[in-house]
Structure 1
């Protein structure tokens, strides 16, 4: 089975070319093409869909926001028709989300990374980590990783067994 890549918000913002959130666009598009050629499967966690929409709505004038929002919708619509090279992760059950809520305080308490000691893991990032763990269990024979520009998330990587 090919590698499975969970796309983080920082990556999707560059792919969509969201103004002020696209500084690594060329590098990201080159890597995206490379992953596609390697037949990588892409998953967009639900938190990334929500966070990306938030960044779009908080960025630029109304016309810019609308144009980027339209591109966002078109890209996500293509995930449902199979035209895009990725799919959107399923929502987890309320029971699972409730479990995460009880884990959240300890994640919020810990430093996000050695260089980001003033913040912990957000609930959105925790849900991405949970999607990674679910994928590792479901596809234990596959390489699975979170593709992110955030130091803490890009450490999540499972090599093929």
Structure 2
């Protein structure tokens, strides 16, 4: 069976955490999550996904709900930091990585792409390099990120 690395986008993570007004695809997301878990996929939570989701939580109007959803986010991210299967955190961001993202940002912005999505694509590229024998894909509900799916390289 081919192993997979699944880069989780904010649109999917918000559904997983049940963020109001961003969770209308929960049934689809949890169905696919079950299917991917059965294949022993590794789920990568990029820093951009964590930060964007945290911002969405922080903007919820109900303080009790903000607290509840923040606790869920912390639980999932803590699992990823601890490497608790199937979650892992994304790449470490240092000044070199940040500079690379910033260098490409004006062109990406011209095309209508934000820095968070661009950073997720860069992370996908890095994972493709480091996991050549694995399928590597971005799991997103946003059309502009759905085509990032690289089959495993054999040989």
TM-score of the superposed pair, with normalisation by structure 2: 0.93
Secondary structure at the counterpart of residue 143 of structure 2: coil
Equivalences for 1:8-157 in 2 at 5 Å?
Answer: 8-83=9-84, 85-110=86-111, 120-157=112-149
Shift of 1:108: 0.9
Structure 2 gap ranges (5+): none
Does the CA-based 8 Å contact 2:91-2:123 persist in structure 1? no
Does the CA-based 8 Å contact 2:54-2:70 persist in structure 1? yes
Q: Determine the C-alpha separation between the residues in 1 that align with 2:24 and 2:132.
A: 34
Q: Stretches of 4+ moved more than 6 A in 1?
A: none
Q: Determine the C-alpha separation between the residues in 1 that align with 2:113 and 2:8.
A: 17
Aligned-residue Cα RMSD (Å) equals 1.3
Change (3 A) 1:84 1:76: farther
